[in-house]
Structure 1
Amino acid sequence: MNQSKQRFFIALVPPPDIQQHITEIKLYFAEHYNSRGALNSPPHITLQPPFEWLAADVPKLEESLKEFSANRLPIPVTLSGFAAFAPRVIYVDAVKSLELLDIHSYLMSYMEANFAIVDRVSQTRPFVPHMTVAFRDLTKDNFQTAWLEFSGRSLHFEFTASALTLLLHNGSRWNISNQFPLGASLQKS
């Protein structure tokens, strides 16, 4: 039997127009600041950090995420301005709404209870919803310069996240593997 493991993470992915805008910012960082790491995944807000899962058991994982998502409402998301995890990462800030904090904590508890998937690092620090545009490959000097350029820059988007997205690592980048509509069973009643 195939015991090979695949790497996944679970996130909220914005609609295509916002994805395109954020991707253009990532490309700007690649061109001007030599930071390409953020281009290895579509724009997203991570809810469950990367974890390994048996390839053979993916259908079970997907079925479970489908059930989880069906019983949660779509989430209003506001992206506002830029922030940083100095001295390496610059990101588009997502407003810490109750809905975002809720889905994050529910999902983390759910993954732990149902799959024994636990991200130790996330458990030790508060959840900061964000969309990375410049990654850990940003040098400290480039970070300083880029932060001067972006810290005061305004950006504002609002969207409703209507699905949880499962992303799969193919060895070089993260791609959308599947999406699970939020609130599917709630809309039927």
Structure 2
Amino acid sequence: MPGRSEEKLKQYFIALVPPPPVSDDALRLKNYFRDQYNSKASLNSPPHITLHMPFKWKEEKENELVVAFSKFTLGRPSFKVELQDFNAFVPRVIFIDVVKNEALELLNKELHRFCKRELNLFNASYKDQPFHPHMTLAFRDLKKPMFEKAWEEFQKRKFAARFDVESIVLLKHNGKIWEVLKEFLFDPSSLPKDEEANSFELHH
């Protein structure tokens, strides 16, 4: 029947998902935007840094994605990501900013190349915009007047956090929200042994 294969297409995307306590505090900020600025769309996914934009894939071939990303992450070294303060894409998006990071940029570039070559995915970034890693707190349902009020508040606020990137995550849309489908760990032997994995600091 026409349309049957279309019905089996699901949406997926690839991201970094920070561990607690960073994810917990980012989630609290998302809830703050819901309560104070009537923007709740970002709550449809866990706190994350997008590495590959959402794409459609046949659900029955989901295992091909799992095999491919397991191959991509095999033996990859971990690295640290720092989050610092807030930034915006006027007039809709407010986010936690990511400090420029060569390892993250390399991961992003290699992932995009891998997805094109191995999975025939060509929509890696939004409208061919350069990679600007960020952790979204409010976006499409943030009305312009609310954006102005929220940005007036958040451009003055401070935020600092750091976490080890030890994996990438494949997320899947269940029809309502994005859920983590599978985490792909990097090389376990590359993880730091003698220091705390996460540090977090939030200034109001």
> Once the 2 structures are TM-superposed, how far is the Cα of residue 130 of structure 1 from its aligned partner?
0.3
* Alignment of 1:32 onto 2:36: yes
* Alignment of 1:94 onto 2:98: yes
Q: 1:8 aligns to what?
A: 12
1:42 is aligned, of 36, 46, 62, to 46
Structure-2 separation of matches of 1:158 and 1:121: 25
Amino acid at match of 1:176: V
> Once the 2 structures are TM-superposed, how far is the Cα of residue 185 of structure 1 from its aligned partner?
7.8
**TM-score, normalising length from structure 2?**
0.87
- Unaligned runs of at least 5 residues, structure 1: none
Q: How does 1:1-189 map to 2 (within 5 A)?
A: 3=5, 4-119=8-123, 121-122=125-126, 124-184=128-188
The structure in which a higher percent of residues are helix is 1
SS at the partner of 1:131?
strand
Structure-2 separation of matches of 1:67 and 1:121: 22
Q: Is the 8 A contact 2:52 2:124 kept in 1?
A: no
SS at the partner of 2:104?
helix
Q: Sequence identity of aligned pairs in percent?
A: 38
Structure 1 residues 75, 164: CA separation in 2 closer, same or farther (over 3 Å shift)? same
> Once the 2 structures are TM-superposed, how far is the Cα of residue 16 of structure 1 from its aligned partner?
2.1
1:130-155 CA distance string (max 9 Å, x none) = 00001110000000000000012110
Q: Is the 8 A contact 1:162 1:182 kept in 2?
A: yes
SS at the partner of 1:43?
coil
Structure 1 residues 156, 138: CA separation in 2 closer, same or farther (over 3 Å shift)? same
Structure 1 residues 15, 64: CA separation in 2 closer, same or farther (over 3 Å shift)? same
Structure-1 separation of matches of 2:131 and 2:180: 22
- Unaligned runs of at least 5 residues, structure 2: 192-204
Structure-2 separation of matches of 1:159 and 1:56: 34
1:114-173 CA distance string (max 9 Å, x none) = 111111654622100000001110000000000000012110000011111000100010
- Paired residue total: 186
Structure 1 residues 161, 186: CA separation in 2 closer, same or farther (over 3 Å shift)? closer
Amino acid at match of 1:118: F
Structure-2 separation of matches of 1:94 and 1:66: 26
